[in-house]
Chain A
């Protein structure tokens, strides 16, 4: 028991413990510690963004008061966090054993960082004159607060990867493995944020008034994004040989480099290099639009995309066949259109390639109306083809939708089978539950559905344990019903033989414990 704890009234201890448990104890799952950490981290990053944006006069000047309000809000939040951490220090595992836990907290590295993050504001508040540039530079120190989440993640990563090679560690950092931990999630989130920021920048660059004022900022943003994506691309290429199916220093990496995700990663950075190196020779501004392809990098994070790709892969022959029929239809219709309409409208149906545009627009039911048939036979042919087109053009979409649904169904069945494997020992532990939830989130299964599936698996397992078959199969097969009945009688005999007959008879005799039929069966079998 520490000095501070012994002198504090018990009620205060209760409040302090509650606050610590509720907001800061990261070892518990059922509290808001993770949310607090995330909120503070987001606020720190937002502070950095605000600090950068404050240097852009055209954005800063009209919203000066808003920026000031945000700064004050951030300071209030950081100050409350500091005070609460100071107050709850005696509950913290790190300081509770010390003689003066709060004093130990004040001089701990993280607390010093927290203090540095808020101190300049208070110094200014009490009249210490600080240069605006110094003040802004000091505000950058708020970034150090991120160390509070970063350092534990690095420590966890080092612990999980102790004894592993450099390349294995790089692999674990960029891919989901058993040893990846929190640090991998942070790296993933970091890349995702840069994808979103750079795509947003590309979109905003197309707005002339925005581009005019923020030209330099967009250049810097793109260069940083390319640096991030280049490091990621190289790290993935270098470490991919640690992954399944990519063994071999050269061919393994070559195989990986040809994979769709690696090609996307490559295309995300290559426009920058080409434009920077060759801009004096060619007009490569069109390449900038390809930076939007960075959005495809997010498919790595989207687990449902994998299901869709599998469905597409599985149904590819059918889709290819229906696409072929579709192409035949287009060419046939374009040729007929040219045949019937060329003489009447030579400028619109000039040749078959030009008629292809009209055929696609008509068959796909878009019908812009800029080209339309005017001859009676042309109109008749168009009516027939348009009706056929509705069916033909819908086929690939229907196949894909059905295949996607089928794939989802299969994966759900696989998950159910996995659930039964987990249930072999009778319980589902935390690790197994995490795995189930990961699969469930990919298959869009809600928590309620998981609970139902788990309950169902438990019941079926219980039924299997006592030898009962599902009622459905008993109802469908009389032979099975006969065998099941006999097995049940045998099981009853075992119960009678194993139990204390006199005591069980006394329980049966008690009022309201068993029905007349149950009593009769017991007596009959007990006698036998």
Chain B
């Protein structure tokens, strides 16, 4: 009963006020602006996420190629790219650049996250914007305490290709986060 009276009071009090005031309009506009911001930020995040997915897919292609070529190298079979052959004097850096050069097997690989971005980078560095969206190939060396386990570190630029290499492929994703793709022998 008292609730009913209270409700009636509220109704009669409300009747004196306009349904929608300019302050309500301010709230609605503010809400729409914030929602617009969420949509915008959400879309930007989604776009960056998609670019990271694209980079991951590029890295997966590279991993597949490296694994196949690594197998061919191990079996002494012919490798199409000269700079990637086991008897080559080239550096791994040269081999990787040759893989993505125009007309090469993975010529479609590009840095999709940054216009001027690197395709391969030794590290994912927030200070260097062009490393965002890059593929990072790291070299694995056996741990002194446990030779069966490997520790991976940024590759030196003069790493020769004429040896068996333990590699780890990672990508520099959204927010400069490092995403591991695979570990392989080359």
Contacts and interface: CB of A to CB of B under 8 A. Distances in A.
A binds B: yes
Interface stretch (A186-194, A268-276, A460-468): A268-276
Given A215-B52, A223-B45, A276-B44, A166 B24 contact: yes
Q: Chain A's interface: helix, strand, loop or mixed, by majority? A: helix
Interface stretch (B72-80, B92-100, B102-110, B172-180): B172-180
Contact of B45 (A230, A234, A276, A280): A276
Nearest to A269: B38
A213 to B, nearest CB: 10
B175 A275 contact: yes
Interface in A207-244: 208, 212, 215-216, 219-220, 222-224, 226-227, 230-231, 234-235, 238
A283 B19 contact: no
Contacts of B46: 216, 219-220, 223
Counting chain B CB atoms within 10 Å of each CB, the highest count among A179, A223, A226, A273 belongs to A223
Interface string B131-171: 00000000000000000000000000000000000000000
Given A178-B3, A216-B49, A223 B38 contact: yes
A472 interface: no
A227 B7 contact: no
A168 B15 CA distance: 12
A163 interface: yes
Contacts of B129: 280
Contact of B175 (A162, A234, A272, A283): A283
Interface stretch (B27-35, B61-69, B82-90, B115-123): B27-35
Contact of B35 (A220, A231, A276, A285): A231
Interface residues of B, number: 40
A249 B186 CA distance: 68
Contacts of A222: 45
Contacts of B30: 234
Contacts of B39: 227
A495 B20 CA distance: 66
B177 A285 contact: yes
Contact of B7 (A178, A249, A431): A178
A226 B3 contact: no
Contact of B14 (A168, A178, A431): A168
B6 A178 contact: yes
A370 B7 CA distance: 65
Interface string A161-204: 01111111000000000110000000000000000000000000
Given A223-B38, A276-B44, A285 B18 contact: no
A302 interface: no
B182 to A, nearest CB: 11
A277 interface: yes
A279 interface: yes
Nearest to A227: B38
A283 B49 contact: no
A473 B20 CA distance: 61
Interface in B35-57: 35, 37-39, 41-42, 44-46, 49-50, 52-53, 56
Contacts of B15: 163
A257 B20 CA distance: 23
A514 interface: no
A433 interface: no
A152 B82 CA distance: 73
Interface in B1-18: 3, 6-7, 10-11, 14-15, 17-18
Nearest to A278: B175
B38 A285 contact: no
A227 B42 contact: yes
A279 B18 CA distance: 44
A275 B39 CA distance: 15
Contacts of A431: 3
B11 A164 contact: yes
Interface string A264-306: 0000000011011101100111000000000000000000000
Contact of B38 (A220, A226, A283): A226
Contacts of A227: 35, 38-39, 42
B126 interface: yes
Nearest to B20: A166
Interface of A: 162-168, 178-179, 208, 212, 215-216, 219-220, 222-224, 226-227, 230-231, 234-235, 238, 249, 272-273, 275-277, 279-280, 283-285, 431
Interface of B: 3, 6-7, 10-11, 14-15, 17-21, 23-24, 27, 30-31, 34-35, 37-39, 41-42, 44-46, 49-50, 52-53, 56, 126, 129, 174-177, 179-180
16 contacts: A165-B19, A165-B21, A166-B21, A166-B24, A178-B3, A215-B53, A216-B46, A216-B49, A220-B42, A223-B38, A223-B42, A227-B39, A234-B27, A234-B30, A277-B41, A285-B177
Given A165-B24, A238-B27, A279-B174, 11 more contacts: A165-B18, A179-B10, A212-B56, A223-B38, A227-B35, A230-B34, A231-B31, A235-B31, A272-B41, A279-B176, A284-B175
